[in-house]
Amino acid sequence: MLIKKGWHVFAGVRKDEDAAKLREAFGDDVTPLSMEVTSSESMNAAGDKVRAALGGKTLRGLVCNAGVAVTGPLLHIPIDEVEKQLDINVLGVIRTVQAFGPLLGADRSLDGQPGRIVTMSSVAGKMGMPFVGPYAASKHALEGLSKSLRKELALYGISVHIIGPGAVATPIWDKADDTSEVDRYKHTDFAAAMQKVFKWMMDRGPKGLAPERIGRRVHHCLTADDPKLRYAEVPDRLTNWTLPLLLPEKLVDRQVIKRLGLRPEGRGA
């Protein structure tokens, strides 16, 4: 979407074949950058390459959208998987900002207007659903991190904007279309409820928003005269976003617990 709008994009990739696909699709309008957000060394090396390419100019925008989703009941999920979740989704953003923040204008020796940062949160950044606790924790953390960062970087005129999508119809749902994560916990008390959540996600995910809609919102955040600080891009917005935030949290919890069968046996609602 940014290339369509006339931008040159420095695109982070983890595999050589992905870099080749980008070059084939977009030619000279894209510069693939090999980077791993769990490594400060890797991110700083990528930042150095962008600095050299900019030739003393500031970077116009930074989009932090790398992430994974670790699932499972918090009572049983291995701690190292939770650590992986936070390392990528939270610390990865900090590493990215530290590597590219100077290019956005924190380095006052560069010529040009300050750039902007867009962080990719989620509906999970405001809500906590069962069996996505590590992911929800990472996105709650990202919301707070972004708010703090916004105030700090005001010193340089660098603004920070949050996009919180719901389901987006990307190939990620093809990768998720197996039951291995559910099967891992089939001997726990959460198996039946996890199966219900998995089926719901696999039904809703492929019917989510078009990726281009998120791309347009990113472009808006980077270019609008006075963009909002946060945008919720959520399909079926009334039921998936507005009502859950307006209703009392206890009521929302009761409904989720009831639908998933998470009440203790033999007890009332």
* SS3 of residue 62 by DSSP: strand
pLDDT digits 0-9 by tens, 57-96: 999 999 999 999 999 999 999 999 999 999 999 999 999 9
pTM (predicted TM-score): 0.92
Contact yes or no for 22/11 (Cβ under 8 A): yes
Residue 195 lies in a domain: no
Q: Which residues of 170-194 are buried (b: 16+ CB within 10 A; e: fewer)?
A: eeebeebeeeeebebbeeeebeebb
User: Which tens digit of pLDDT belongs to each residue from 226-253?
Assistant: 999 999 999 888 888 899 999 999 999 9
Out of 134-148, 163-177, 211-225, pick the least confident. Answer: 163-177
| Helix 40-54 with 92-100: angle, nearest 10 deg | 30
Domain hosting residue 120, numbered range: 56-177+203-249
> How many CB atoms are closer than 10 A to CB 3?
16
Q: Is residue 81 part of a domain?
A: yes
Asked if the structure places residue 42 within a domain, the reply is no
In this structure, which amino acid lies at residue 213? R
Q: Do the domain assignments include residue 9?
A: no
Residue 5 within any structural domain of the chain: no
pLDDT at 204: 76
In a domain, 183, yes or no: no
Domain count of the fold of the chain: 1
Within a 13 Å sphere around the CA of 14, how many CA atoms are in the beta-carbon half? 6
Q: Are 82 and 70 in contact (CB under 8 A)?
A: yes
The pLDDT tens digits for 77-88 are 999 999 999 999
CB 132 within 8 A of CB 85: no
Catalytic residue from among 135, 156, 185, 231: 135
Is 135 labeled as catalytic in the residue annotation? yes
Q: Does residue 137 belong to any structural domain of this protein?
A: yes
List Cα–Cα distances, 161 to 117, 192, 221, 232, in angstroms: 6, 38, 7, 11
Q: What is the CATH number of the domain that holds 149?
A: 3.40.50.720
Is residue 199 within 8 Å of residue 239, measured between CB atoms? Answer: no
The answer to whether residue 123 sits within a structural domain is: yes
pLDDT at 240: 86
With bands split at pLDDT 50, 70 and 90, how would you rate the model's confidence at 170? confident
What is the C-alpha to C-alpha distance for residues 198 and 202, in angstroms, rounded to an integer?
A: 6
Count of CA atoms in the C-beta half-sphere (13 A) of 159: 14
Closest CA to 11 of 27, 28, 32: 32
CA distance to 21, 31, 91, 165, 168, per residue, from 18 (Å): 5, 12, 24, 24, 20
